[in-house]
Structure 1
Amino acid sequence: MSHNHNDVTAHNRETWDSKAKDYDAKPWQKKIASQVASALDSHASWLGANWTSSSNQECRLLDYACGTGSVTRALSNHITHATGLDISSQMLEQYSSLLSTSHPSLHLNTAIADFCSQDTDSSISGPDFHDFDVAGVALGFHHFNNPALCISNLAARLKKGGVLFIVDWLPKDVKPEEHIGHQHAHPSNTKEEDTEEWKKMQKTIKTNGFSENDMKTFFEGAGFDEFGFVVLEDSFILQMNGKEVRKTGFIAKGRKA
């Protein structure tokens, strides 16, 4: 693992640890979480995973960069087991406490993991962390410093025929009045009280979004076929540094060959 990667991971972990308690608290965050949830739920048959049903007793989900569990909640009617992985132990605590209360019948498991690293932790080497039916990342992908490696690591955790999905957003044209940090277009500073939090968050953002072709390249490079891509109709509206930023979301999917 490079020195640089350690720095990035440590910074990301600290940022997400500090955000865990109020991560879903702001109205715009709640709205985006519910948009992601309804998009996944309404696209469940399109995703084509081996969902639980009268003929299939078990479906195991790997929720990567799980945060407080919006993906797991969205797909809770279609799965029996959920494993939340995140670099932040504080996020995992929120994930476990919220889901065990709201979905007591789901079998839950959590572990700290960084799939953007070559050194995947031995603590997630056991059978509980392999042979998933479906794996997903929602709005975490633009924070990853090595998306191709992350997709390969996710592929390794799926069973043959398992489905991976990524929810993220398309690249946004940069307007002249916006500055760019980490190749990421965001409005420049307006509100003083947001500044420190904003600077912290901005350091975790690695890209300005992904095109269909970007995602196809990642998926095919990691050995997935049956690639699919849908653009979501309702924009995500982020409140960034006192300004609204509108993003067009997508779901990308592939099946492990």
Structure 2
Amino acid sequence: MGETLAGKNQAYWNQASQLVFKDKWVHDLQNQISEFLTGSVEWIGVRPNTGEDSRQTKLMDYACGNGIVSRSLHHLFSKCIGVDLSDGMLDKYRATAAELGLDKSHMLAVQGDLLAPTVGPTNPQLTEEELNGFDLVAICMALHHVEDIAWATKRLAERLRPGGVLLIIDWATLDFSNQTEQQAGVQTNWENHHHHHHHMHDIIDPKHPAAHTISHDSFSRDQIFSLFEQAGCGESQFVLADRLSPVPGARSGEMQLFWARATKL
């Protein structure tokens, strides 16, 4: 697996998992993500499990890392499943579950690659039923590490029940040559071409230790909406962060988050 992008990510994040969450900028970024998620439950479109419905409600936190999505939204679901390639990251996910006082029945860490051409068994091994029918599938700050983003989005959407929500959180493409927009209090210029994205070396410093794990540096709104459409999802929405985030690996030193959601049709 080591020669594939997935293999490079697995090897890198197994080591980096011990250090990355100690960086102040990563800590601040996670706080920003969590603040938005906890305050935007209605926008995301998931309903709290009131206990009146006998159906189990499920969240898949894909490429979960230390589980910032699960940490923010676990109270809305009967079960959260964090999936990651990296055992090191899954240790962080388990630590988050322990901190929240949640056992495996509520917040389960699973090693596996659900985006591979042929999906092998997970560890622990889950059935197809357990790996499908999710109310929410989220991929947070990880799509830019995926080689085939259209395939990935489609595969993740397939894990949803009809009416379930696919949530993507990642870096927004800023183009400083186009017409200026004012969005959520931050002045930015948006690239409006349907499929365009900057090449990785335009934004991420190639000397950054994680540069070899990145396939796309950022995404435009139109690009994300196109991915949703190709994945059989509609009712797409896209929200820009209200501020820029310091990113030491970025050439400009700053990048901007976005949150995007769509419903499986």
Could you tell me which residue of structure 2 aligns to residue 132 of structure 1?
134
SS in 1 for 2:248: strand
Q: How do 1:125-164 residues align onto structure 2 when only pairs under 5 Å count?
A: 125-164=127-166
Q: How do 1:102-141 residues align onto structure 2 when only pairs under 5 Å count?
A: 102-104=100-102, 107-123=106-122, 124-141=126-143
The sequence identity of aligned pairs, in percent, is 23
Say which of 218, 229, 237 aligns to 2:246.
237
Q: How far, CA to CA, are the matches of 1:223 and 1:91 in structure 2?
A: 30
Q: Which amino acid aligns with 2:157?
A: A
Q: Which amino acid aligns with 1:152?
A: K
Q: Which amino acid aligns with 1:155?
A: A
Could you tell me which residue of structure 2 aligns to residue 43 of structure 1?
40
TM-score where L is the length of structure 2: 0.82
- Post-superposition Cα deviations, 1:33-88, rounded to whole Å, max 9, x if no partner, equal 11011111111111112332354464211000100111110112322311001111
* Larger helix proportion of the pair: 1
Aligned length: 240
Say whether 1:59 aligns with 2:67: no
Could you tell me which residue of structure 2 aligns to residue 246 of structure 1?
254
Q: How far, CA to CA, are the matches of 1:111 and 1:104 in structure 2?
A: 15
CA contact (8 A) 2:205 2:211 kept: no
CA contact (8 A) 1:17 1:90 kept: yes
Q: How far, CA to CA, are the matches of 2:143 and 2:158 in structure 1?
A: 17
Q: Which amino acid aligns with 1:168?
A: D
Q: How do 1:68-217 residues align onto structure 2 when only pairs under 5 Å count?
A: 68-104=66-102, 107-123=106-122, 124-173=126-175, 182-187=200-205, 198=208, 200-217=209-226
Q: How far, CA to CA, are the matches of 1:245 and 1:152 in structure 2?
A: 32
Q: How far, CA to CA, are the matches of 2:246 and 2:41 in structure 1?
A: 24
Q: How far, CA to CA, are the matches of 1:118 and 1:125 in structure 2?
A: 18
Shift of 1:20: 1.2
Shift of 1:184: 4.4
CA contact (8 A) 1:174 1:185 kept: no
Unaligned runs of at least 5 residues, structure 2: 178-197
CA contact (8 A) 1:50 1:162 kept: no
Q: How far, CA to CA, are the matches of 1:245 and 1:41 in structure 2?
A: 27
Say whether 1:10 aligns with 2:28: no
Q: How far, CA to CA, are the matches of 2:244 and 2:77 in structure 1?
A: 27
Distance 1:187 1:14, change over 3 A: closer
Q: How far, CA to CA, are the matches of 1:32 and 1:43 in structure 2?
A: 17
Say whether 1:256 aligns with 2:264: yes
Q: Which amino acid aligns with 2:259?
A: I
CA contact (8 A) 1:184 1:207 kept: no
SS in 2 for 1:240: coil
Task: Out of 93-102 and 146-155, give the one that drifted further.
Answer: 93-102
Provide runs of 4+ in structure 1 moved above 6 Å: none
Q: How far, CA to CA, are the matches of 2:64 and 2:228 in structure 1?
A: 20
- What is the RMSD computed on CA atoms of the aligned residues? 2.4
CA contact (8 A) 1:116 1:146 kept: no
